[in-house]
Amino acid sequence: MTDTYIRLVPLPVKVEGVTLPNDDGSFDVYINSRLSPARQQETLEHELRHIRREHFYLDLDVSSMERQADGEALNVVLHPPAGMIPCFRSEDALARWLCVLCAQLGISLP
């Protein structure tokens, strides 16, 4: 996994957490310090799922990304929008994307 910097900060009541990608491939994760410790942990896990699922580099609607980060299995096609090239921060991320894409297309990998 890439470098991830986690910060507890007071956020508006309705904002539990926010993740921002940085130009160097790292991420800043902000967790609302007003939440209970248990809810802070759940929010952190949710934000980390966004990173693991490459949500910052896919053309998915926000509601689908949120449901996926909440643990719902979604059958989404990971094609980039017309004229765009997907960006992968690691070989592992590319490999995961190719596996999902092949599964969706019914192609078996060796």
Give domain status of residue 60, yes or no. yes
Residues 56-103: tens digit of each pLDDT = 766 666 777 787 777 776 655 555 555 555 666 667 777 777 777 777
Q: Domain containing 61: what range?
A: 4-105
Number of domains in the chain: 1
Which residues, 6 or more positions from 59, have their beta carbon under 8 angstroms from its beta carbon? 79, 80, 81, 84
What does the CA dihedral 30, 15, 19, 97 come to, rounded to 10 degrees? 140
Give domain status of residue 92, yes or no. yes
DSSP state of 94: H
Give domain status of residue 101, yes or no. yes
Give domain status of residue 110, yes or no. no
Residues 2-57: tens digit of each pLDDT = 789 999 999 988 899 999 888 888 899 999 999 999 999 999 998 898 888 777 76
